[in-house]
Structure 1
């Protein structure tokens, strides 16, 4: 069964990133990519009928005393490719333009744990970038749902691209900054 015959759900920019269904034998695998060739590799894999996904994020680059933001692969040099090892000609992935090779164990491609790539796809916004904020905005009220500060309410001070958050908690006529994982926060309307 070819990947194109497997029911897929579109996600990401222009619906190019596809989610493979593991219950049909299609699993996500990791492929090493030549530096900066992620887009070319995605295009050529798509032409061969393989679903692929490259998590992307925005990063700040300093050049000639200027700071600029660029979109780049979240895991530079790697991408995810979905295929069924028993049904597809997966060895052709190694010969794809832009691909160094599949990550293997012995002579078989090593599958990614179930749910990992699907979670990255779910965290990908309409702009095609990973978004760990969960819809939280700085300045909004949040409830801490896990950890030693569970059930306290505070004000979100900032979020960083890695999913860390700083929450200001009111305590004894002042605000105390607490650094937490953003997944441990829930917005309050």
Structure 2
């Protein structure tokens, strides 16, 4: 029979939100390698990923990519743990610092990212617009006109079709330049 330390028995494991995190800059495309080697040293790491579609040779493939390329988050208590060893870890370029101390990241940021994960990837917020939806243009030369969305792209742009002078005009607009059409 072993005796337990009463303080240890009552201790609640810290959550990511209550622990300090630091940011480690990795070598180019070496986030996974750096995270693995940091993890081997007993630190918890987090490298949020997102799904991205790439096109190659007429094929579309979905791949996982780092949300923050070149960076990995590491849970560390700089007062109690030796964080300087991270700077000589395989795959690591530097630890983001404020002078001689590592820059501390609020754990709530990590918890927010983890809450958005679905099947190991950060999910995008729901798309506010859909192809085929009618919108009102709110700025620029076509301000006030109604258009139909014909294409959405990843860089916050919409391609819309609008009727003007008995012809169909296709144009590209920023998402901020349109508003949902209010039904009256």
Normalised-by-shorter TM-score class = 0.5 to 0.7
Tell me, which stretches of 5 or more residues in structure 2 are unaligned? 1-11
Identify which of 139, 147, 155 aligns with 2:131.
Answer: 139
Following the alignment from structure 2 to structure 1, what is the Cα–Cα distance between the partners of residues 134 and 115?
22
* Matching of residues 4-15 of structure 1 within 5 Å: 5-7=13-15
* Matching of residues 23-172 of structure 1 within 5 Å: 24-27=18-21, 29-47=22-40, 48-56=42-50, 58=52, 60=54, 66=57, 71-112=64-105, 121=114, 125-126=118-119, 128=121, 131=124, 134-135=126-127, 138-141=130-133, 148=139, 155-162=148-155, 164-168=156-160, 170=162, 172=164
Partner SS for 2:121: coil
Q: How many pairs align?
A: 163
- 2:50 touches 2:65 (CA, 8 Å); kept in 1? yes
Q: CA RMSD in A?
A: 4.4
- 2:150 touches 2:161 (CA, 8 Å); kept in 1? no
TM-score, normalised by the number of residues in structure 2:
0.57
- Following superposition, the deviation at residue 108 of structure 1 comes to 1.3
TM-score, normalised by the number of residues in structure 1:
0.56
Task: Sort the Cα spacing of 1:95 and 1:122 in 2 relative to 1 into closer, same or farther, 3 A.
Answer: same
* The structure with more radius of gyration: 2
Deviation string 1:115-172 (CA, Å, 9 cap, x unpaired) is: 76666556655362663x624575252767xx6489987544333334x130526454
